[in-house]
Amino acid sequence: MRKMYFCLLAMVSVLTLSAQSIYDFKVKNDVGKEVSLADYKGKVLLIVNTATQCGFTPQYKELEPLYQKYHGQGFEILDFPCNQFGQQAPGTIQEIHQFCTANFDIHFPQFDKIDVNGENAHPLYTWLKEHTGGGDIKWNFTKFLIGRDGKVIKRYESRDQVATIETDMQMEVSPVLSNIMARRSVRKYLNKTVEHEKLEMVALAGINAPSAMNRQNWAVRIIEDQKLMADVKDMTRKAPNLICVCAPADGRFDLDAGLLGENMMLAAESLGLGTCIQTGPIRFLTTDEKAKAFRDSLDIPEGYKLLYVISIGYPDEQPEAKPRDASKVKYIK
């Protein structure tokens, strides 16, 4: 029996260590049926360990409106009752569900009771803790915010305000904001060219950027010719396609061209494409003999310069987000 226990514990540890996202786990719902969390793929999740006789139980009054407000935008609350803290979640899952429905009119899914700490902790919670510093769950109504990619964004303790969670959550739920937060510079690409239709959508997003007095002082060249790409691939991250952005040589409209590029990169992100903006290859592209055929194909307007290029393609990597310094922002009130 002891040997079987350690074998089971080892299996749980392997599952936890090998899991790449929350979608690798299975849980039991309120009727004992096994459910794959892959069913929630692409949604923003708030995972909560709850109790019905806790001082924090009234948080249900805030969680249900949050669920109702954002559920239509792909948001789910996953409720896991836990009796480990002061024995404050007594009764069966059916009794707990009846209590929550009668007293708080909840509509988000509740799952079977689990342990969140100790040797019997559910592998899901072991994984959640490992991805937020490894510390034990301190009390009921600890919460984890999960992004649409199945990765943990942030952990919240019992006393953290739901309003704070909502602010963070909006960055994930809003298609525009989540797209901004998800974009990374991609430097490795699959050997697959981008479909012309997608490149057209990227270009359309770009030229809809604002410009001074709507002058649209830019010239965009999107390279699909693979022979031309072969001449410059080593200088452009070996991307299958390239976007060249030109602007007046006097530099007065560089900002407009920058806004154009940002629009195109965000559009590419929404289409499942990766991008990387570069100025490094400009000298090679504009002066090197090896790039002459490429350079001639651009037909840059007179008085314009090649300002930057954007490598674009299907990503062959998933770069992690790098820290951002919020102290750079000051609010003058």
DSSP string, 196-244: HHHHHHHHHHHHTS--GGG----EEEEE--HHHHHHHGGGTTT-SEEEE
Chain centroid to Cα 314, Å, comes to 17
What is the spatial distance between Cα 322 and Cα 324, in angstroms, rounded to a whole number? 6
Pick the CATH number of 196-313 from 2.30.29.30, 3.40.109.10, 3.30.2350.10, 3.30.450.40: 3.40.109.10
Residues 6+ apart with CB under 8 A from 33: none
Is 2-182 a CATH 3.30.420.40 domain?
Answer: no
> Within a 13 Å sphere around the CA of 178, how many CA atoms are in the beta-carbon half?
18
The pTM of the full predicted model, rounded to 2 decimals, is 0.72
Q: What does the block give as tokens for 316?
A: 């062959």
Structure confidence at residue 6 (pLDDT): 46
- Per-residue pLDDT of the chain (333 residues), as tens digits, is 555 544 445 454 554 555 678 999 999 999 999 999 999 999 999 999 999 999 999 999 999 999 999 999 999 999 999 999 999 999 999 999 999 999 999 999 999 999 999 999 999 999 999 999 989 999 999 999 999 889 899 999 999 999 889 989 988 888 888 889 889 999 999 999 999 999 999 999 999 999 999 999 999 999 999 999 998 988 888 999 999 999 999 999 999 999 999 999 999 999 999 999 999 999 999 999 999 999 999 999 999 999 999 999 999 998 988 888 999 999 999
> Within a 13 Å sphere around the CA of 76, how many CA atoms are in the beta-carbon half?
20
Structure confidence at residue 11 (pLDDT): 52
Structure confidence at residue 177 (pLDDT): 87
Helices (H), the chain: 2-18, 60-70, 93-104, 123-130, 162-173, 175-182, 196-207, 226-232, 254-270, 282-287, 292-298
Residues 6+ apart with CB under 8 A from 130: 16
Structure confidence at residue 286 (pLDDT): 93
Q: DSSP state, 134?
A: S
Nearest Cα to Cα of residue 20 among 119, 105, 115, 130: 130
Structure confidence at residue 3 (pLDDT): 54
What is the spatial distance between Cα 228 and Cα 231, in angstroms, rounded to a whole number? 5
Q: Where exactly are the structural domains of the chain?
A: 2-182, 196-313
Supply the residues annotated as catalytic: 54
What is the spatial distance between Cα 150 and Cα 152, in angstroms, rounded to a whole number? 7
Q: What mean pLDDT is reported for the chain?
A: 92
